[in-house]
Structure 1
Amino acid sequence: MNRAPFIAVEGPIGAGKTTLASMLSEELGFPMINEIVEDNPYLDKFYDNIEEWSFQLEMFFLCHRYKQLEDTDRDYLKQGQPVLSDYHIYKNVIFAERTLHGQKLEKYKQIYHLLTHDLPKPNVIVYIKASLPTLLQRIEKRGRPFEKNIEHQYLERLIADYDTAIRQLQEEDPDISVLTIDGDTEDFVLNKTDYERIARQVKELIK
């Protein structure tokens, strides 16, 4: 690996990204870049009316993540310090392509490419792949009020979108390492053996 490891944990809503990222951050001793979700002022409105509030929501997330990664590059990666994040900046495109259409989507993509073309990208992705029943169970368990109205069809499309996106990222950058976790069968929270296996695999990837 030619530069400091930059690990991103990714997966659909409810996959357990932040939980696993926090565990790996503590295990590896890497600073964690934690996505802020609840502070987005458009979330409640978005889940009540996706069409009306999608552009505002996506722009808020994009600008916030841009600032986080800009700071991460300056404060950590350029200093040779490995970092770990509970998201990949490309998730902005995954969600925008699902919620935006026509001119709004084109405008968004133009802004996205302008902002992110020189941002640091993860060289390791830990991808938590999970089915709809697993996502629904975890979403209900964490009990975020604004997630109560998420449509099942929306989640199903996100599952497929993530599979496509991970393949695209690998095709665009052959040097990127992807570790896929089966979120339906591997319980990294309650099963110590499952977690230790994941942590061991991550350590091998960043050697």
Structure 2
Amino acid sequence: MDQQVPFIAVEGPIGVGKTSLSNKIASHFYYHLLREIVEENPFLEKFYENIDEWSFQTEMFFLCNRYKQLEDIQKHYLNAGKPVVSDYHIFKNTIFAKRTLKEEQYEKYRKIYDILTEGHPKPNVLIYLTASLDTLIERIQLRGREVEQNIQASYLEQIRQDYEDFMDEFEQNHPDIPVIRLDGDKLDFVKNSSDLDEILSLIEKHIFKGEVIS
């Protein structure tokens, strides 16, 4: 692997519990936690009200902020030998942009994305957390973010399926990056310590023993 210092990324659709799991991983292994900038996006509330009108502004804000975050993480942590766990990875941007942008907008966006992410740090373990639409809706309602209250169920289901398709392709194209797939409908790592222990054991098997997780 190009990046030997542990860099774990947790990914999955909106509301699946990425930040909760990342917090627990960071606390257990004493890793630096990189948290996704979400509510700070000034276009997000307008985006959920009118996706077509505000998608480009929303996606560009996310791209620039995530690029800067990864640049800082690489400089101040990974290059200094300090492990990191992140509740996202920048590749997720293409999932959302491809879904929300018009073709001409996406072509422009993709060119900028490719330039900004060339040479960016890649995770050496990727945790993919997914769940059913009902579970995602329930968790979004429970966490109560005001900007997310206008998310349409149809959009959420599209993103959930887009993640599935992307992750299948990701595993084919990146055999050097182990993917741990977790079913959020069956695992409750917040309430059940045994579920969390199982996840931490899978991570530890790879990070500390160099074994490939299948």
Q: TM-score, normalised by structure 1?
A: 0.98
Separation (CA, whole Å) in 2 of partners of 1:50 and 1:148? 14
Superposed displacement of residue 76, structure 1 = 0.9
Q: d(CA) in 1 for partners of 2:110 and 2:156?
A: 22
Q: How does 1:96-111 map to 2 (within 5 A)?
A: 96-111=97-112
The answer on 1:129 being equivalent to 2:130 is yes
Moved more, 32-41 or 161-170: 161-170
Partner of 2:184: 183
**1:78 CA drift (Å):** 1.0
Q: Distance in 2 between matches of 1:144 and 1:83?
A: 26
How is 1:1-207 mapped onto 2 (pairs within 5 angstroms)? 3-207=4-208
User: Residues of 1 paired with 2:166 and 2:31: CA distance?
Assistant: 26
Q: CA deviation at 1:202?
A: 0.8
Letter in 1 for 2:146: P
- Which stretches in structure 1 are left out of the alignment for 5+ residues? none
Shift of the alpha carbon at 1:75? 0.6
1:139, 1:108 → 2: CA distance? Answer: 28
Which amino acid is 1:146 matched to? V
Shift >2 Å, 4+ stretches: none
Counterpart CA distance in 2 for 1:60 and 1:39 is 10
CA distance in 1, matches of 2:149, 2:124: 34
Q: How many residues align?
A: 207
Give the counterpart letter for 1:44 in structure 2.
E
Return the TM-score normalized by structure 2: 0.94
Runs of 5+ unmatched residues, structure 2 = 209-214
Deviations 1:1-30, CA, capped at 9 Å, x for gaps = 561111001100000000000010000100
User: What residue identity is the alignment partner of 1:41?
Assistant: P
* Distance in 1 of aligned mates of 2:76 and 2:52: 37
Q: Which amino acid counterpart does residue 32 of structure 2 have in structure 1?
A: P
| CA displacement at 1:159 relative to structure 2 | 1.1
Amino acid of the structure 2 residue aligned with 1:23: K
- Alpha-carbon distance, 1:145 to partner: 1.1
- Partner amino acid, structure 1, of 2:168: R
Q: CA deviation at 1:166?
A: 1.4
Range with greater deviation from structure 2 (31-40 or 169-178)? 169-178
- 1:117, CA displacement in angstroms? 1.3
RMSD: 0.9
Deviation at 1:118, TM superposition (A): 1.0
* SS of structure 2 residue aligned to 1:14: coil
Shift of 1:119: 0.6
**C-alpha separation in 2, matches of 1:145 and 1:173:** 36
What is the percent sequence identity of the aligned residues?
52
